[in-house]
Chain A
Amino acid sequence: MEKKTVLLGETYQFASLKEVLAKANEERSGDELAGIAAANMKERMAAKVVLADVTLSEIRNYPLLSPEEDEVSRIIEEGLDESIYKAVQRWTVADLREYILSDEQSGADLLKLGTGLTSEMIAAAAKIMSNLDLIQAASKIEIITHCQTHIGAAGTLASRAQPNHPSDNLQGMRASAYEALSYGIGDAMIGINPVIDTTDNIAALLKETKEIIDQFSIPTQNCVLSHVTSQIRAIEKGAPADLIFQSLAGSQAAIESFGISVSMLDEATALINEKGTATGPNRWYLETGQGSELSSNSHFDIDQVTLESRCYGLARRYNPFLVNTVVGFIGPEYLYDSKQVMRAGLEDHFMGKMHGLPMGVDVCYTNHMKADQNDMDNLSTLLAAAGVNFVIGVPMADDCMLNYQSLSYHDIATLRSVMKLKPASAFEQWLEQIGIMQNGKLSRHAGDPAYFLTLA
């Protein structure tokens, strides 16, 4: 599919849809590393202009990776609602953008539309949307999911407590979890990134997190983020898991580089449905993040925004409880600075929501990236305005195991206060009951991890 346009007196020619999609991205280092980015600002704008006129049927008829050669493409293709797609196939990407942003369309309309769109169409729309467009569109969409508890209701901001420890020390993990809970953090889940990926260690962490939840009757869910195969072994041996975790990527070769396949994810789904400890239907915690395909050299010259969208196409097969884009974790070779991280966070959140997914964002950065905590203040405020389902909290924003910075428990409490958002409803009631909150505000006990020892 060749395309060309004349812009400011110059002719721009694009050999394929893949090239148009890549060059239409806002600037990011990962596309430059892959050698697929626009050469300059005018070429970037030419690509956006061309993309705005591409029809949705063209996008479907010229697959970047055919379903025959790629499992992720096959899942996206199979999951499409044909009747919805048929009604919109003649739209251009510009039409799609304007429909999404129109006052006439409710969030429910957008969710319905999303079932008839491929991941590539949703990515295409994002490429011709501004940051505020992405916020406006996403803020209309409400996605409520149910594991042990419900999260995602409009007017709430949930959070994952991430009490990691650099040697998986159970007492240290527990102390850090108390700190989180004392700020009203942990309604999305209590989730640990383990250091040691052995069956026994995963089982021990699952038991300990579950014990905290049971001991204080906390309306939340537990999860240990090891490779899915070691979680399966631990769960088969009887370890209590509400959620099962896996990182996803946007091409078959990339998920294979993670040591997983669609059939393995299907097996894990069956297992967690049978042996998991939750009562609700949504049992997956999935993580994504722009750039992982390029990092495993399985990107096929497709840009990182489109590949990220394809992760969501794969994710929607599994009706997850939470999807988290770990936006600033990957490093400066994919997202160079805070401007690129902010843009990616807003794109991922919007694209995930358009796929009907319960999107959260790990608002984060590493120490080799040109960003600091002020940038996280900014992005988290934008995402709270966009209606993000949940964010990640670590003590004073500093994850002492993964060696990166996310949001502090203080920050999440502040976002709730400034943006007039509440914790998930059952969790808020629990906070009021045990005395961490009083009449919707943090009480005098808030911020004191030792308070939980007086309750024990």
Chain B
Amino acid sequence: MNEVVDRLKNYTPARIGVGRTGTRPLTKEFLSFRIDHAAAVDSVYGEVAPELLESFQLFSVDTCIETKEHYLTRPDQGRLLSEAGEKMIWEKCVKQPQVQVVVSDGLSANAIEENMADVYPALMDSLEANGLSAGTPFFVKGGRVGCMDAIGELLKPDVFVLLIGERPGLVCAHSMSAYMCYRPRAGTRESERMVISNIHRRGTPPVEAAAHIGTILSKMIEQKTSGVGLVM
């Protein structure tokens, strides 16, 4: 019987086949759950290493966030760029690119550290395979999804893709999302944004996600829209 349970467990990272004593979990499983929660809470407070950003030739700009607590309670400030950040983007970036790629730590710096090497080159390949040209990519520290609107106002790209760390889960504290939008600007509706979530090796595989992003961006450009209006 144990072999059958093991086979079921192989199909999913979910905590199944964990057993019980009465109606309660077994001690080992209970403690392992609490350990993973502890690790996830700690990873919210991590930072992306500057060396990693350098290796992908990404320069880094700040939002209006000062501390982690500030980031957690003031999402509005994470959607706005600092004055210095705006200036740097304006000076360094290609204007009106077809595709603007941005990377941000969001709620898990760990997600960027773990997935960049898999996702980023695959994304660039996928853009090329779809005949799309990218502008100047960069990193946003303390960013929220809506920071793409502020960047969109500055650079006016046709389409935008934001690779951002998701809030960490227990099975995986390093899951990344790709948020995409056609011509993001001040006042973009959430329903205009599209997302591929759970990007990590045991979730949506990075290469598959990158291919999917390329397809979606092409369709956005073709249909001049994104979100619920886009026919896939």
Residues of A within 8 A of B (CB): 29, 32-33, 163-167, 169, 171-176, 178-179, 183, 195-196, 198-199, 227, 229, 256-259, 295-296, 331-333, 336, 366-368, 372-373, 394-405, 408, 410, 413-414, 417, 442, 446-450, 453
Taking a contact as CB atoms under 8 Å apart, the answer to whether A449 and B17 are in contact is yes
Complex Cα gap A446–B22 (Å): 10
Contact among B23, B167, B232 with A366 in the assembled complex (CB-CB below 8 Å): B167
Q: List residues of chain A with CB within 8 A of the CB of B113.
A: none
| Interface residue ranges of B167-193 to A (CB < 8 Å) | 167-173, 175, 189-191
Contacts of A372 in B (CB 8 A): 34, 37
Distance between Cα atoms of A396 and B37 in the complex (Å): 12
- Which residues on A sit within 8 Å (CB–CB) of B204? 166-167, 195-196
Known A257-B189, A368-B107, A372-B37: A169·B11 in contact at CB below 8 Å? yes
Stretch of B70-78, B90-98, B119-127, B129-137 that contacts chain A = B70-78
B15 with A166: CB separation less than 8 A: no
Q: How far is the CA of A410 from the CA of B16 in the complex (A)?
A: 11
Interchain CB contact under 8 A, A405 and B37? yes
CB-CB under 8 A for A163 and B40, given A333-B73, A373-B34: no
Q: Beyond A257-B189, A398-B171, A400-B15: 6 further Cβ-contacts under 8 Å?
A: A33-B74, A178-B8, A258-B191, A373-B33, A446-B20, A447-B19
Q: Which residue of B lies closest to A401 (CB)?
A: B198
Q: A195, B198: Cβ atoms under 8 Å?
A: yes
Instruction: Name the interface residues of B140-163: CB closer than 8 Å to any CB of A.
Output: none
B176 to chain A, nearest CB (A): 11
CB of A367 within 8 A of CB of B40, answer: yes
Nearest CB of chain B from residue A183's CB, rounded to whole Å = 8
Do the beta carbons of B191 and A257 come within 8 Å of each other? Answer: yes
For B232, give its contact among A198, A258, A403, A417 (CB under 8 Å): A198
Q: State whether A332 and B8 are in contact (beta carbons under 8 Å apart), knowing that A179-B16, A367-B169, A398-B171 are contacts in the complex.
A: no
When the two chains form their complex, are residues B227 and A259 in contact, meaning their CB atoms are under 8 A apart?
yes
Q: Are A256 and B189 within 8 A (Cβ)?
A: yes
Q: In angstroms, how far is the closest chain A Cβ from the Cβ of B150? A: 14
As a 0/1 sequence over residues 199 to 232 of chain B, the CB contacts with chain A under 8 angstroms (1 = contact) are: 0001111000000000000000000000110001
Tell me whether B197 is interfacial, beta carbon within 8 Å: yes
Known: A331-B167, A373-B33. A450 touches B73 (CB 8 A): no
Q: What 6 pairs across the A-B complex have the smallest Cβ distances? A: A403-B169, A259-B191, A172-B12, A396-B15, A166-B203, A259-B228
Q: Across the interface, do B40 and A397 meet the contact criterion of CB distance under 8 Å?
A: no
* Residue B5 CB within 8 A of the other chain: yes
How far is the CB of B159 from the nearest CB of chain A, in Å? Answer: 18
Task: Give the distance to chain A from B204, nearest Cβ to Cβ, in Å.
Answer: 6
B166 to chain A, nearest CB (A): 6
Give the complex CA separation of A295 and B18 in angstroms.
Answer: 37
Query: Chain A residues near B232 (CB, 8 Å)?
Result: 198-199
Say whether, besides A333-B73, A404-B169, A175 and B191 are in contact (CB < 8 Å): no
Q: What would be 5 A-B contacts, judged by CB atoms less than 8 Å apart?
A: A166-B202, A167-B203, A172-B11, A172-B14, A175-B8
Give per-residue flags for B25-53: 1 if the beta carbon is below 8 A from chain A beta carbons, else 0: 10001000110110011011000000000
Question: Considering the chains assembled together, what is the distance between the CA atoms of A167 and B207 in angstroms?
Answer: 13
- The answer to whether A398 touches B15, judged by C-beta atoms less than 8 angstroms apart, is yes
Known: A167-B203, A405-B170. A396 touches B12 (CB 8 A): no
Q: Complex: how many Å from CA A188 to CA B144?
A: 35
Structural contact, A171 and B33, CB atoms closer than 8 A: no
Residues in chain B near residue A417, CB distance under 8 A: 23
A179-B4 Cα distance, complex, nearest whole Å: 13
Beyond A166-B204, A172-B11, A367-B44, whether A400 also contacts B107 by CB under 8 A is no
- Chain A residues whose C-beta falls within 8 Å of the C-beta of B166 in the assembled complex: 403
Most buried by B among A178, A229, A331, A400: A400
> Does A403 lie within 8 Å of B72, measured CB to CB?
no
- State how many angstroms separate the Cβ of B200 from the closest Cβ of chain A: 8
Also in contact, A449 and B5, with CB within 8 A (given A259-B228, A405-B37) = yes
Given contacts A398-B170, A447-B19, contact A33 B76 (CB under 8 A): yes
Q: Which of B5, B9, B12 contacts A400 (CB 8 A)?
A: B12
Q: Are A333 and B75 in contact (CB under 8 A)?
A: yes
A366 vs chain B, min Cβ distance (A): 5
**Is A163 touching B14 in the complex (CB atoms < 8 A)?**
yes
A447 to B24, CA, bound (A): 10
Within 8 A of A (CB), among B51-96: 72-76
List chain B residues, Cβ under 8 A from A227: 228
Do A367 and B167 form a contact, CB below 8 Å, given A259-B228, A448-B1?
A: yes
Q: Which residue from chain A places its CB closest to the CB of B195 in the assembled complex? A: A197
Distance of A208 Cα from B33 Cα, bound (Å): 29
- Chain B: CB-nearest residue to A164: B14
Asked whether, in the complex, the Cβ of B198 is within 8 Å of the Cβ of A179, the reply is: no
Q: Once bound together, how far apart are the Cα atoms of A259 and B24, in whole Å?
A: 42
Given A259-B228, A332-B73, A367-B41, the answer on whether A179 and B17 have CB atoms closer than 8 Å is yes
Partner of B16, one of A169, A366, A395: A395
B76 to A, closest residue via Cβ: A33
Q: Please indicate the chain B residues that have their CB under 8 angstroms from the CB of A178 in the complex.
A: 8, 16
* Contact present for B9 and A395 (CB under 8 Å): no
Q: Contacts of A403 on B, CB cut-off 8 Å?
A: 166-170, 172, 175
Closest to B194 in A: A197
Which of A229, A366, A394, A453 contacts B14 (CB under 8 A)? Answer: A394
Per the bound structure, the CA–CA distance linking A164 and B74 in Å amounts to 30
Q: Which residues of B contact A336 (CB under 8 A)?
A: 73
Cα separation A179 to B11 with both chains bound (whole Å): 13
Our pick among A32, A368, A405 for the contact of B44 (Cβ within 8 Å) is: A368
A227-B190 Cα distance, complex, nearest whole Å: 13
